[in-house]
Structure 1
Amino acid sequence: MRTVSFGINISVDGYCDHTAFNPSEELMDYFTAMMDDVDLFFFGRVMYQLMFPYWNDVAKNQSGTAGENKFAQRLSAIDNVVVSRSLSNDDVNVNTRIIRSSPAAELLKLKQQPGKKIAVDSVSLLPELIAAGLIDEFKLVIHPGIVGKGRPLLEAGSLQEKLDLKLVDTISFKSGCVALHYLKQ
């Protein structure tokens, strides 16, 4: 069975506002290396629209830093599933499939298929996917800042029960960011 990995950038005060972070080249290299074991992204609509077409354009035009260009090329090459009731096929990349309902059931089917890891990148879907027992690992990158706004990682009361995690790796970056890798216990 495939591993499902949830990854997100987060501020010290618990917000997931990607517009508040400026990743260093070292951090971009870390994100690119994380994708070596991934062959499918599972996005919510909001995160998908934040990531694309921006990173596709960077990959196509090589308009970023060396680290951003490498990240963009790798990200753009991976297949995607997007959970959305409003996107049409004209709104997504060629390597993207839209599902309209039952994200946990769909992720379970994908998890049972052969392949590499599935990377989940959706704060809105997280409580449902945790409740279904589908998230195997969490990769959180804590940025050294208090932003005071944005979407919290989890809304108060969004989990039915506590989820215990085991810390298996910590990486500190020169920028002050810290990458934490947890496994579900």
Structure 2
Amino acid sequence: MRKIVLMMSVSLDGYFEGPDHDISWHLVDDELHQHMNDLTRRMGGDLCGRVTFELMDGYWPTADTAPDVTPVEAEFAQLWRDLPKYVFSRTLEHVDDPNATIVREVVPEEIRKLKEQPGGDLVVGGAVLATEFLRHGLVDELRIYVHPVLVGRGRRLFPSADTLTSLDLVETHTFRNGVVLLRYEVAAGGGTHP
């Protein structure tokens, strides 16, 4: 059965975005971008909220036509276009992406059925949606990319909660730009609980 992987970038002080939705502090060089391309190539689908989808869809579908596009960016643009996307939104009425499906609610039984389908792992992104998936015990693995910066304020990836989720560290990797990947699996029997 494929897994659901929460994959997000954060600052060292735990923010996924700074004030006014600022993510300019994300340190994505060619090495880290190629790493993301390699992961995306193996993904079975992207589970995202409306805001994350619109951010990505506003740039990547045509990014490979930009005159200053790098080869690694052009590769990601193609991967993004071909990737199945499940956009969780109560308000979005239509998307132009033929590989995108609008989903109205996080229904755990439906997500589990999606996991049982063949294909690569499913990646969940966006803090609000990730929180909802964690609350329902739907996340199997976390890939947290810690950027060497203190943002100071903004939106935290993990909001306060009344639950404990036990994790097992299964991999670390330091990129040349100082970003550190921390990969955790949800501990056996250690799902979310009060």
Which whole-Å CA distance do the structure 1 matches of 2:105 and 2:37 have between them? 30
**Counterpart for residue 115 of structure 1:** 119
Q: How do 1:15-54 and structure 2 match up within 5 A?
A: 15-17=15-17, 18-54=23-59
TM-score by length of 2: 0.86
> 1:97 and 1:133 mapped to 2: Cα distance?
23
- How far 1:68 sits from its partner (Å)? 1.6
Query: Structure 1: where are the runs of 5+ without partners?
Result: none
CA distance in 1, matches of 2:178, 2:53: 27
Distance 1:104 1:12 in 2: 31
Percent same amino acid among aligned pairs? 31
The residue type paired with residue 100 of structure 1 is R
Equivalent runs, 1:1-185 vs 2, <5 Å: 1-17=1-17, 18-61=23-66, 63-89=68-94, 91-157=95-161, 160-185=162-187
Q: CA deviation at 1:43?
A: 0.5
Residues 106, 132 of structure 2: 8 Å contact kept? no
Q: Could you tell me how far apart the structure 2 residues matched to 1:149 and 1:64 are?
A: 32
What do residues 149-182 of structure 1 show as CA deviations (whole Å, max 9, x unaligned)?
332111112xx42111111111111111111111
| CA distance in structure 1 between the aligned counterparts of 2:158 and 2:174, rounded to whole angstroms | 24
Is the partner of 1:23 in helix, strand or coil?
coil
TM-score, with length taken from structure 1:
0.90
Shift of 1:106: 3.2
Residue aligning to 2:190: none
SS of equivalent residue, structure 1 residue 125: helix
- Number of aligned pairs? 182
Mean Cα deviation higher: 122-131 or 73-82: 122-131
Q: Return 5+ residue gaps in structure 2 as ranges.
A: 18-22, 188-194
